Amino acid sequence: MDNELREHRAKALLDNPLFQEAFEVLKEDLMNRWSNSGSTDLEARESIWLAMRLLDKIHAHITSIIETEHMNKILEKQHPYI
């Protein structure tokens, strides 16, 4: 898959209301689980924390696809022979 198609698909994902809702609902659910877990339930709290970090990493990866292609386009315009 070429970079422009990847960028287009990544933008479509991030702009998709259902995708946005899924991330919001999952984060809210994880926060609720974390805040309602007992302070001694370390395994559950650690698992929830890891799940939250994973959601952040997925979102960051998709965002980086868009930003990388955007930077490539800028560099191509500024330095077409590099």
Instruction: Supply the pLDDT for residue 74.
Output: 81
The 10s digit of each residue's pLDDT in 28-38 is 999 999 999 99
Instruction: Supply the pLDDT for residue 82.
Output: 64
Would residue 38 be called left, alpha or beta, if left means φ above 0 and alpha means ψ between -120 and 50 degrees? beta
More confident residue, 4 or 55: 55
What's the whole-number mean pLDDT along residues 43-57? Answer: 96
CA dihedral 77, 79, 81, 82 (to 10 degrees): -120
CB 23 within 8 A of CB 59: yes
